[in-house]
Amino acid sequence: MQVLDLPWTEKYRPSCLDDVIGQPLIVERLKSFVGRGNFPSMIFAGSAGIGKTTCAIAMAKDLYKDRLGSAFKELNASDSRGIDVIRGEVKEFARIISLANIPIKMIFLDEADSLTSEAQHALRRTMERFSAETRFILSANYASKIIEPIQSRCVVFRFKPLREEDMKKYIRRVVDGEQLKIDDKAVDALIYVADGDLRKLTNILQSAAMQSTEITEASIYDVASKARPREVVTMLRYAVGGEFNRAREELDNLMIRHGMEAEDLLLQCYREASNMDVDERVKMNIIKEIGECNFRIVEGANERIQLEALIAAIILFGKGK
pLDDT confidence of residue 156: 92
- CA pair distance 17, 62, nearest whole angstrom: 8
Boundary (domain end) residue, out of 133, 158, 183:
158
Do 77 and 94 lie in one domain? The reply is yes
Domain membership flag for residue 4: no
- Domain with residue 259: its CATH number is 1.20.272.10
Q: What is the mean pLDDT of residues 58-68?
A: 87
| pLDDT at site 263 | 87
Q: What confidence tier does 78 reach under pLDDT thresholds 50, 70, 90?
A: low
Give the number of domains in the chain. Answer: 3
Q: Is 210 part of any domain?
A: yes
Task: Say yes or no: 82 and 128 in one domain.
Answer: yes
- Are 136 and 112 found together in one domain? yes
Average pLDDT over residues 71-81: 74
Q: Is the predicted pLDDT of residue 319 greater than 80, yes or no?
A: no
Is the domain of 21 the same as that of 151?
A: yes
Q: Which of 119, 134, 158 is the last residue of a domain?
A: 158
Shared domain for 88 and 194, answered yes or no, is no
Query: Which has the minimum average pLDDT: 13-27, 66-80, 282-296?
Result: 66-80
Same structural domain, 142 and 172:
no
Please check whether residues 117 and 25 belong to one and the same domain.
yes
Query: Residue 11 — pLDDT band, cuts 50, 70, 90?
Result: very low
End of a domain among 206, 224, 242? 224
User: Residue type for 225, please?
Assistant: S
| CATH code of 153's domain | 3.40.50.300
Give the domain range for residue 189. 164-224
pTM over 0.85: no
- Going by pLDDT thresholds of 50, 70 and 90, the confidence category of residue 93 is confident
Residues 43 and 140: beta-carbon distance below 8 Å: yes
